[in-house]
Chains A and B, each alone.
Chain A
């Protein structure tokens, strides 16, 4: 009750000292508006990156193993990886580790001509296990996907990405038609749904999928893998599972310290976290600048409130004489500082969000309006008001009413 009455007094005082209140809001306004712009852009960019990652990976609940230790450049293919990752490794991971739900085997190569009558294109050719579809959460648009029977019987069947379909069959139904991959004939049994762009912005639809066994025996004639994808049962334990996969493969490859891994295990969730971690240097500098503006804004509030306390000694004396305790005075002045900071925060968010909308027009940024950064910015503004309002409010409560009333 009393707190509400004091709050109303604080609000009225903000109106009585309008010019000072406006000046006090400025620093906060600048800080918060730039912070709002930055965090909105940052958050929106992060979501966009995450979406693209998801487009490529399908799911984050997987562990990816590639042959060769250390970093390799670009996408692994049959010509640039050592033959260290075998089909038997994939079987062992699937059967010996209870943490793994399933494993997909992959062989892939680029620049292989795929031909239909007079048309030719050079997509990425992937030999994959039939469970690829589920692991990548892809969908077949037309026809069917590769089956286990087709894989076991080395069937020459293919599923096309939309880019390949459009390239080879611009105005024909591809289902049932025979294409040639290198020189081997394959029958088209399905077309994937379009997946759009990956993290680098390149298309993910220029692709032909064939059964892994067919690829290994009839097309590439290789008995090692370029990649295997293991789906983990408990995504929250993906780090430990990664360790177990590494240990199992080292044992199978007879590697003892100091021998290094002859394979690379990656965890998309971890990679993703690295990619999206708090952005660029520029982002950090700008965040620093807006935090500095906020601090200056806070100091401006502190300075102007302190001056106000000196000028309003008589008011403090009168309030004390009619029954305001020290706590009531602290509350009033703290609230005045917080109200001003809150006003600055709200104005800053409005200007910042407006700025984001304008930027989004020119920069083709995803202009998503997110409430979390906005709520965060306002909370920071209020926090600044409290932090820098404490000292003047304390000073106000220490004013000697007797002296203040006599002057």
Chain B
């Protein structure tokens, strides 16, 4: 599913010393894997996730997504890849204001093939248990509900890869475990999931963990024996 080789990202502005956010990361993620990327803040995990999500491009190295080398794609094909293959889940939900839950879920369909299918959007909301909340605005929903709307939005184009950036960071325990259970379901369905967190309890849902420190991978181990704690 994912293969990266010597992936680096350097941020530099004229007059300032360049910052190496990511240093020659090399790894593979096979289809259906649940990978957790863990590290302190500033360790480069968000940078890595943005590159994997085709929102950002590496300064050096190669990124194969689903057999395609996307490291040198221009804006338009990159946008198509995001639309068809990737679903994002953010820490701050990022739902559009003044826009109902249902309309939020519909947005990815605007930029894909085919029409905006309202029925499918409703089904996606039902799947995350929010069928009754379709016409509510984000301000009328709890944090957990907002994140579940965001998950429905991430799923609407049926992407093979789900990227989650601290999805439980703004949630309390009960809402957090609901969200993690949904992610686990998606994993069971066969979707590939890359989760970024600094929380070991959340990381415990994953089957493999990559540890980042100062932009470099310091450990990459499979969590075969799950020692799941309560989140």
Residues of A within 8 A of B (CB): 1-2, 5-6, 8-9, 12, 16-17, 314-315, 317-328, 401-402, 405-406
CB distance from A323 to the nearest CB of B (A): 2
B83 & A322 in contact (Cβ 8 Å cutoff): yes
B205 within 8 A of A: no
B98 & A322 in contact (Cβ 8 Å cutoff): no
Could you tell me the distance between the alpha carbons of A321 and B82 in the complex, rounded to whole angstroms?
A: 7
Count how many pairs of residues, one from A and one from B, have CB atoms less than 8 Å apart in the complex. Answer: 77
Closest A residue to B116 using CB positions: A5
Given contacts A5-B116, A327-B76, A405-B94, contact A322 B56 (CB under 8 A): no
Given contacts A2-B110, A402-B50, contact A320 B98 (CB under 8 A): no
Could you tell me the distance between the alpha carbons of A328 and B111 in the complex, rounded to whole angstroms?
A: 8
A320 & B79 in contact (Cβ 8 Å cutoff): yes
A323 & B111 in contact (Cβ 8 Å cutoff): yes
The binding surface of chain A is classed by DSSP as helix
Could you tell me the distance between the alpha carbons of A327 and B80 in the complex, rounded to whole angstroms?
A: 12
User: Inside 8 A of A1's CB, which chain B residues have their CB?
Assistant: 113-115
User: Inside 8 A of A16's CB, which chain B residues have their CB?
Assistant: 98-99
- Can you report 23 A-B residue pairs in the complex whose CB atoms are below 8 A from each other? A2-B110, A2-B111, A5-B109, A5-B110, A5-B116, A9-B110, A16-B98, A314-B94, A314-B96, A315-B97, A318-B96, A319-B107, A321-B82, A321-B88, A321-B94, A322-B111, A323-B82, A323-B108, A323-B111, A323-B157, A325-B76, A325-B79, A405-B55
Other A-B pairs, 13, CB within 8 Å; known A322-B88, A402-B56: A1-B113, A2-B111, A8-B116, A314-B94, A314-B96, A315-B97, A317-B94, A318-B96, A320-B55, A323-B80, A323-B112, A402-B50, A405-B55
- By Cβ-Cβ distance, the 10 closest A-B pairs, closest first, are A323-B83, A325-B79, A323-B111, A322-B108, A16-B98, A5-B110, A323-B82, A325-B76, A321-B88, A324-B111
B50 & A323 in contact (Cβ 8 Å cutoff): no
Given contacts A5-B116, A6-B110, contact A322 B90 (CB under 8 A): no
Could you tell me the distance between the alpha carbons of A238 and B97 in the complex, rounded to whole angstroms?
A: 67
Q: How large is the interface on B (under 10, 10 to 19, 20 to 34, 35 or more residues)?
A: 35 or more
Closest A residue to B49 using CB positions: A402
B55 & A402 in contact (Cβ 8 Å cutoff): yes
B84 within 8 A of A: yes
Could you tell me the distance between the alpha carbons of A162 and B146 in the complex, rounded to whole angstroms?
A: 86
Could you tell me the distance between the alpha carbons of A326 and B111 in the complex, rounded to whole angstroms?
A: 12
CB distance from A212 to the nearest CB of B (A): 80
CB distance from B202 to the nearest CB of A (A): 19
Could you tell me the distance between the alpha carbons of A326 and B56 in the complex, rounded to whole angstroms?
A: 14
User: Inside 8 A of B98's CB, which chain A residues have their CB?
Assistant: 16-17
A5 & B115 in contact (Cβ 8 Å cutoff): yes
CB distance from A273 to the nearest CB of B (A): 52
Closest A residue to B79 using CB positions: A325
B215 within 8 A of A: no
User: Inside 8 A of B116's CB, which chain A residues have their CB?
Assistant: 5, 8
CB distance from A319 to the nearest CB of B (A): 7
A405 & B90 in contact (Cβ 8 Å cutoff): yes
User: Inside 8 A of A318's CB, which chain B residues have their CB?
Assistant: 94-96, 107
A401 & B55 in contact (Cβ 8 Å cutoff): yes
User: Inside 8 A of A320's CB, which chain B residues have their CB?
Assistant: 55, 79, 82
CB contacts under 8 Å to A, within B7-39, are: none
Closest B residue to A326 using CB positions: B75
A328 & B94 in contact (Cβ 8 Å cutoff): no
Could you tell me the distance between the alpha carbons of A17 and B97 in the complex, rounded to whole angstroms?
A: 11
User: Inside 8 A of B191's CB, which chain A residues have their CB?
Assistant: none
User: Inside 8 A of B94's CB, which chain A residues have their CB?
Assistant: 314, 317-318, 321, 405
Could you tell me the distance between the alpha carbons of A12 and B104 in the complex, rounded to whole angstroms?
A: 12
Contact bitstring B100-132, A, C-beta under 8 A = 1, else 0: 000100011111111110000000000000000
